[in-house]
Amino acid sequence: MTLTLTVLGTASPHPAPGRPCSGYLVSGGGARVWVDAGPGTFGEVQRHTDPARLDAVWISHLHADHSADLLAALYAFAYGGLTPPAPVPVYAPAGCAERIAGFLGRPDPAPLAAVFDFRDLYDGHEARHGGLRLTARAVAHDAEAYGLRVEGGGAVLAYSGDSGPCPALGELAASADLLLCEADTDRHAGGGAPVHLTPEDAGRLARDAGVRRLLVTHVGPGLTREDATRRAAAVYGGRTDTAYEGDVHRLAN
């Protein structure tokens, strides 16, 4: 088994030409999991797999740049001929189903159950699909939000989601083969707890957690991806790469 990460989108806080918002396809052990469903990522899912064969969807938080393409998937599954053989599990913060139903003007999310099986995340939540184990940890953001640790085939992928610095990130990333980490903000403004990471925060997290490789993503408009990667690498001191749409990263133990 090879644990594989395919980058679907990296943009923040809105999609750009050729660059969808946050989204990733994680596969291994016979399972395919769509991690974060930012605008534009459902089209990218279709480049790499049949969406009807997805084993699960995992949503870090309900901000639109991480979840809005659940609507695109809903229409594809319900009306577009891509119907999965059974409702697809959607692991997401509480209220995800109601939010989608509200967009459709429906007071009751029950009809969504024909295509989506919504399951609430919580700190320490675990799920298994094929040879993959997915563990969620609550992280520091301005909404209910989670980071993700994926284990499979002896390899470990850690994903920060959107988060300010917090102990849970270090626990998720501990000794990971690959840390997929946001570096959304140039610097922390005063007046409140940080809700995103700077490139230096990302590098420090990778260094302190002892990860083998850092992949920088979700870089905000105040930075370029390349500059954010350079700054993170200066703190981390290890291999640091930039996440680009379409890239495939294979993790080996």
Given a contact cutoff of 8 angstroms between Cβ atoms, the answer to whether 3 and 250 are in contact is: yes
Strands 132-138 and 146-152: antiparallel
This prediction has a pTM of 0.96
Q: What is the mean pLDDT of residues 162-171?
A: 97
- Tell me what pLDDT residue 191 has: 72
Q: Flag whether pLDDT at 182 surpasses 70.
A: yes
pLDDT over 70, % of the chain:
100
Q: Tell me what pLDDT residue 37 has.
A: 98
Spell 211-238 as b/e; 16+ CB within 10 A means b: bbbbbbbbbbeebebeebbebbbebbee
Coarse DSSP helix, strand, coil percentages of the chain, rounded to the nearest 5 percent: 25, 30, 40
The pLDDT value recorded for residue 1 is: 79
User: CA gyration radius for the chain?
Assistant: 17
pLDDT, mean over the chain: 96
Q: Report the relative pairing of strands 240-242 and 214-217 from DSSP bridges.
A: parallel
Asked if residue 197 has pLDDT above 90, the reply is: yes
Give exposure, 66-95, as e/b (b: 16+ Cβ within 10 Å). Answer: bbbbbbbbbebbeeeebebeeebbbbbbee
- What pLDDT is recorded for position 252? 72
pLDDT tens profile 13-52: 999 999 999 999 999 999 999 999 999 999 999 999 999 9
Take residue 239 and report the two structure tokens written for it: 């291999």
**Residue 176: CB partners within 8 Å, gap ≥ 6?**
149, 156, 157, 158, 209, 211, 212
pLDDT digits (tens, 9 = 90+) for 50-72: 999 999 999 999 999 999 999 99
Residue 121, phi then psi, degrees to nearest 5: -80, 160
pLDDT of residue 253: 63
Q: Where are the beta strands (DSSP E) in 53-193?
A: 56-58, 88-92, 116-120, 126-129, 132-138, 146-152, 155-159, 178-182
192 has pLDDT over 90: no
d(CA 198, CA 97): 32
Reference 177, options 238, 227, 243; nearest CA is 238
pLDDT at residue 137 is higher than 80: yes
